[in-house]
Amino acid sequence: MASLLLLLASSAAAAAEPPSPSPSPSPSPSPSPPHDYADALRKSLLYFEAQRSGRLPHGQRVAWRDHSGLTDGLEQGVDLVGGYYDAGDHVKFGLPMAFTVTMLCWSLLEYGADVAGAGELGHALQAVKWGTDYFIKAHTKPHELWAEVGDGDTDHYCWQRPEDMTTSRQAYKVDRDRPGSDVAGETAAAMAAASMVFREHNPHYASLLLTHALQLFEFADQYRGKYDSSIAEVKSYYASVSGYHDELLWAALWLHRATGRARFLDYAVDNAHGFGGTGWAITEFSWDVKYAGVQILAARLLLRGEHAPRHRATLERYRAKAEHYVCACLGKNAGGAADANVERSPGGMLYVRQWNNMQYVTSAAFLLSAYSGYLSDSGAGVAASCAAGAGEVFALARSQVDYVLGSNPRGMSYLVGYGGRFPARVHHRAASIVPYKRSKEFIGCAQGFDDWFVRRGANPNVVVGAIVGGPDRRDRFRDHRENYMQTEACTYNTAPMVGMFAMLNRMARDEAAAPPANAEQQSVDR
C-alpha cells in the first residue's frame, strides 16, 4: 500500500505550508558541549507535574501550579478529577493522554534500569500513575470510557490559568452505542504497559491495571468505531485520521507482552493484513498513527524468537514494514513514491510537518533506539531493508535527541529549562500568567488575552521539561507566544524522551570511563 501520509494529507495537520519570506541566515552554533542527560531527564519528569489536573499532592515540585478541575465529571455524576492537560490548554483529551502514558511505560520497560540509576524512577512511576489513576476513574463500566473533559472550542476562546477556569467542563464518553475503538484501544495499551511497569513495585495495582486493559480491549474490539464519530467535539483537535485498526493491533501486542497469552499474538497475526499492519508503509509515529510502533513491537517478537512457527511468516512481513520506517528515517529507502523517506532539515532534524514537528522527532528517536537494541540483542545487527547497521540506526536516534537539546543551527534547546538558551514564550496558559499562589485575583476569560497573552516578555513561569513544537524544515524558529505551531508543547513530545535521556546518561558515563571504538560498538554496549 502507499504511505499513510497520502491519507493524512487530507487532514488539516498535513496541509501544505504557505510560502514564507526569506529569513536571515540562521546563526551557526558554537561547538556543543557534552549534553547533561541526567539534567534533561530530571527536567523532563518535572513537566508532567506542570501538566497535572486535579488536586495536587503534597510532594508537588512545580510550585507555580495549584489545584484545578476539581468538579470534573460532577455534572455527569462521575469522578473525573485528575489526569493531564495535553498541552497549553485545559481540555483533557483521552487519546493523546493514553498515548503519553503508553510511551512513558515503554521508556521504562526499555530503559527503566537507567532511569533508576539516575535516581528518577520514583518520579517516573508517579508520572505514569497520575495517568493510570485517572484512566481507572474514567473506565466506569466494562463497555464505557470517558474520553474527554472540556470542550476545545470554548477553551480556546479563553486565556486563563487552570485554577481560574470558567470554560465548559462537559465530559464525553464512548460506550456500546457510541463506540470509540481507537481511544479504548490506546487506553488498553497504556494500562497493559503500565501493568508491567508496576508488576514489581505494586503487584496489586498492576493486577488492577491489567483487568482494566483486558476489559477495554474487549470493548474496543467488540464495539468497533472511530471515537471522533461518537464525540464530534474532538474532531477539530484530535481527530482519529488513521482510524482504529492500528490501535487494536497496538493494544493486542501490548496485552501479549503483558500476559504472554497466545491469543493476543494470534489476533495481531490474523488481522495483520486486514487491519493494515503488514500493508501500510509508514514514515511517522504519533498519538494518531501507531503502525510503525506496531510493526516494531512485532519485529521484536520475531528477533527474540518469542512466537510460534505459524506466526513467523506474518512477523517477517511486519518486520519488513518496521524497517521501511527505520530506513525512511535514515533516508535510505530506494524505491517508492516521493514520500518514501523522511525529510531532513539542513541541521539534520527529521521533518514530517510544520505543526508540532518535535512530536515526530522524539517518537522517531525512541523507535530507532529501541529497534537498534533489538537488532543488537538478536545478533542480526542489520536492518536488512537498507543494509543499515544497528550502530548507524542508533547514531541517528542520538543525533535527534542532541538536536532537541541544542546541537542545532540555532544552538537552542527545545527542552524548556535546559541549557543556556531555550524558548521563553511557550504557548501555555498557566506558564504565561502570574502564578495563582502569588496572586489569587481572578483572571477572566478575555482578561488573560488582554493582560498576559499579548505581553512581549518571557513567561513568568518556566514550564521546565516541556518540548515545544520546534523549528520548521529550515531550522527556523520564532519564540512568540502566538506562534503555537512552534511554541506549544505537548505531553507526548516529552514522554518518549524520558527513557532516552536516562539511557544516554548512562552511556555518557560509560563513554567517559572507556570510550568505545565506534558507533557500532556503542549500540552493542547498550
Mean pLDDT of 439-464: 93
User: How many residues would you count in the chain?
Assistant: 526
Q: Which residues, listed in sequence order, are joined to residue 388 by a DSSP beta bridge?
A: 383
pLDDT at 383: 86
Nearest to 138 by CA among 90, 81, 218, 68: 81
**Cell 508496576 identifies what position?**
198
Name the active-site residue from 212, 427, 428, 480.
427
pTM of the model: 0.92
Q: What single letter denotes the amino acid at residue 216?
A: L
Q: Which residues, listed in sequence order, are joined to residue 343 by a DSSP beta bridge?
A: 351
- Rounded CA-CA distance 322/253 in Å is 14
Q: Is 334 exposed, middle or buried (0-12, 13-18, 19+ CB in 10 A)?
A: exposed
Q: Residue 331: pLDDT above 90?
A: yes
Q: Is 172 left (phi over 0), alpha (psi -120 to 50) or beta?
A: beta
Q: Which residues, in sequence order, are CB contacts of 119 under 8 Å at separation 6+?
A: none
Q: Which residues, in sequence order, are CB contacts of 10 under 8 Å at separation 6+?
A: 241
Instruction: Locate 360 and state its grid cell.
Output: 515526530
Q: What single letter denotes the amino acid at residue 301?
A: L
- Rounded CA-CA distance 6/444 in Å is 42
Q: 343-344 and 171-175: which strand pairing?
A: unpaired
Q: Residue 525: pLDDT above 80?
A: no
Nearest to 375 by CA among 508, 526, 493: 526
Q: Residue 90: pLDDT above 50?
A: yes
Q: 171-175 and 92-93: which strand pairing?
A: unpaired
Question: For residue range 184-195, what is the model confidence (pLDDT) as tens digits?
Answer: 999 999 999 999
Cβ(477)–Cβ(486) below 8 Å: yes
pLDDT at 518: 58
pLDDT at 33: 66
DSSP state of 489: B
User: Is the Cα dihedral 273, 277, 281, 287 positive or negative?
Assistant: positive
Q: How confident is the model at residue 13 (pLDDT cuts 50, 70, 90)?
A: very low
pLDDT at 438: 87
Instruction: Locate 523 and state its grid cell.
Output: 549500540
Q: What single letter denotes the amino acid at residue 382?
A: V
Question: For residue range 157-175, what is the model confidence (pLDDT) as tens digits?
Answer: 999 999 999 999 999 999 9
Q: What is the 3-state secondary structure of 162-213? A: HHHCCCCCCEEEEECCCCCHHHHHHHHHHHHHHHHHCCCCCHHHHHHHHHHH
Whether 256 sits among the annotated catalytic residues: the reply is no
Question: For residue range 110-148, what is the model confidence (pLDDT) as tens digits?
Answer: 999 999 999 999 999 999 999 999 999 999 999 999 999
398-402, 413-417, 446-450, 494-498: segment of lowest average pLDDT: 446-450
Q: Residue 25: pLDDT above 90?
A: no
Instruction: Locate 259 and state its grid cell.
Output: 500476559
Contacts of 14-19 with C-beta under 8 Å, sequence gap 24+, read 14/353, 17/354, 17/472, 17/473
Query: How many angstroms separate the Cα of 486 from the Cα of each of 40, 335, 510, 518?
Result: 20, 32, 35, 35
Q: What single letter denotes the amino acid at residue 409?
A: P
pLDDT at 34: 86
- Rounded CA-CA distance 345/19 in Å is 16
Question: For residue range 390-445, what is the model confidence (pLDDT) as tens digits?
Answer: 999 999 999 999 999 999 999 999 999 999 999 999 999 999 999 988 888 899 99
Q: Residue 26: pLDDT above 80?
A: no
53 versus 11: the higher-pLDDT residue is 53
Q: Which residues, in sequence order, are CB contacts of 319 under 8 Å at separation 6+?
A: 295, 298, 299, 302, 303
User: Is the Cα dihedral 241, 242, 243, 246 positive or negative?
Assistant: negative
Q: Return the beta strands (E) in 232-355 as ranges.
A: 343-344, 350-351
